[in-house]
Chain A
Amino acid sequence: MTKPAPLRPKPDGAGSSVQLLPLSELPGPNLAMRKLPHPGRWLAAAVVVLLLAVLVRAFALGNIRWEIVGEFLTAPVIIKGFGWTMLITIAALALGVVLGFGFGMMRLSANPVLRYVAWFYVWVFRGTPVLLQLLIWFNIALIFPNLYIPGVVDVKMVVVMTPFVAAVLGLGVNEGSYLTEVVRGGILSVDKGQVEAAHTLGMTPGQTMRRIILPQTMRLILPVLGNSAVGMLKFSSLAATIAMTEMLNAAQRIYFINGAVIEMLFVCALWYLMGTSVLSVGQFYLERHFGRSQGGRA
């Protein structure tokens, strides 16, 4: 057996030469300073520039008619489609947040029935593909031909369940099942002392939840919500499969006619990037607002 290595590195070991300056040789205070060079960064930059050049060349010489991209970028159908995309995104996200907070709180309720209901919701909607859910909502009239609540509404389901409504329900309810778990985790991570302090002041569970726990949960789950918003914008393209004329669907209808497949897809890509960028900016400001107390234990 070999002896264990000594804990301390040997002085003057390879690659660790130490400069020894006797006190008598110390220079004055006004010395020029030189930063450590970072060759790795320069190398990385060179590689990136090279790759970009290759890509740009491929796109420029490839079989893409850029004038068509430019033409359709601002075409009314596309802009209208993008409007629907944004509308679905915002409505579904709002629904998801409401459901997420509602079921998230139920998951931690003292009432066991509420706990099981919330657990079941997550189990069903997180456990099946969102595309499948979308199709089921769209075809829900096959199970419930009429939307009938005594004294409130009584209409044919096919009238209510438009592609837009189905898209918002499908995406929102699915997102809610993810956010339920996020909210639950957020609530659990709030320091127990905060809750005890609220109780000793005489705050009821509802007041404690609204005024102490949820605001602190917000700060913790906002990064996830930002992610959800961006994801939702992209998943809204699934609504194209249920004949919702959101942007991707509109683009597909155009390229079935003019054959400019890659061009129309690029138009969509540019709009999606625009949308997600705007959402990221919004997220930045929201996070700054909720992070202003700089968190931490109080």
Chain B
Amino acid sequence: MSAPIVKTVGLRKSFGPNEVLKGIDLEVTQGEVLCILGPSGSGKSTLLRCINHLEVPNGGYVWVDGQIIGYELRKDVLHELTVKRLRAQQSQLGMVFQHFNLFAHRSVLGNVIEGPMVVRGLSRAEATERAMALLDLVGLAEKAEAWPAELSGGQKQRVAIARALAMEPRVMLFDEPTSALDPELVGEVLEVMRRLAASGTTMIVVTHEIGFAREVADRVVVMIDGEIRETGPAEAVLADPKDPRVRSFLGRVLARPAECDA
């Protein structure tokens, strides 16, 4: 068993009176692929966004590889970090968004070299060399000079993955990376993610792609109403969920025709 690399401890988040995360305790080990399933509005995105501090949790904390995200522990008190130090932590958590969020005013290559150049101070030449290797990995080396607006959704998402990988993050977070794609474009993105998983990247993936979860995930958690209701190996959870609400959710999802055997 490898060592834990991400741990959330009693993570809570509310938007006004709406309590979205009700104390999430989650542990992810080095090299593990964890898929988060759950109905719409159950708090999956919020959990991911709290892990990388895009949303600031109201309670509890996130630990990543020896550091508490956003804080420094001194004498049992969490002291808020400066923005600069927080960003340094965030760059260790690669994020892939449902809507890609590629920089509209930068070319494909420009998107991938932006982080390494600006944040890590690499020279343009060095950043470009490494970016080209990553674009090659996601099969888009020949699109390096294209503008994001000229790409298909699947291509955009693959560029977004390359952009996140360029920071050499400890963990990759995916928030429904294929939900905004036409069905025939889902496969190419899942293929890239499958390769990442095989290469030992630690991944936390919010997805509705049950097929992907079944095939790639080491472990699956099911969230309902801001709580983790079920956790375990994909086969066990999908085949025989104990919690009745998880059972009914999975029943609904599995009843849908599989759109994901790419």
B164–A200 touching, CB < 8 Å: yes
Number of A residues with CB within 8 Å of any CB on chain B? 26
User: Does B258 count as interface, using CB distance less than 8 angstroms?
Assistant: no
- With known contacts A194-B103, A293-B148, A200–B90 Cβ distance under 8 A: yes
| Closest beta carbon of chain B to A291's beta carbon, Å | 10
Contacts of B114 in A (CB 8 A): 201, 203, 211
Name the interface size band of chain B: 20 to 34
B90–A298 touching, CB < 8 Å: no
User: Does A294 count as interface, using CB distance less than 8 angstroms?
Assistant: yes
User: Does B26 count as interface, using CB distance less than 8 angstroms?
Assistant: no
Which residues, 55 to 111 on B, are CB-close (under 8 Å) to A? 83-84, 87-88, 90-91, 93-95, 97, 99-107
B105–A196 touching, CB < 8 Å: no
Bound complex: CA of A200 vs CA of B49, how far in Å? Answer: 10
| Closest beta carbon of chain A to B200's beta carbon, Å | 21
Contacts of B160 in A (CB 8 A): 197
Contacts of B119 in A (CB 8 A): 201-203, 207
- The residue that A196 contacts in the complex, of B54, B102, B164, with Cβ under 8 A, is B54
Could you tell me which B residues sit within 8 Å of A by CB distance? 52, 54, 83-84, 87-88, 90-91, 93-95, 97, 99-107, 114-115, 118-119, 147-150, 156, 160, 163-164, 167
User: Does A199 count as interface, using CB distance less than 8 angstroms?
Assistant: yes
- With known contacts A194-B101, A202-B91, A298–B156 Cβ distance under 8 A: yes
User: Does A215 count as interface, using CB distance less than 8 angstroms?
Assistant: yes
Could you tell me which A residues sit within 8 Å of B by CB distance? 191, 193-194, 196-205, 207, 211-212, 215-216, 219, 292-298
12 pairs of residues in contact across A and B, judged by CB atoms under 8 Å: A193-B97, A200-B54, A200-B90, A202-B87, A202-B91, A203-B115, A219-B105, A293-B104, A293-B106, A293-B148, A295-B104, A298-B156
| Closest beta carbon of chain B to A287's beta carbon, Å | 14
A200–B95 touching, CB < 8 Å: yes
Bound complex: CA of A194 vs CA of B114, how far in Å? Answer: 13
Contacts of A295 in B (CB 8 A): 104-105, 149
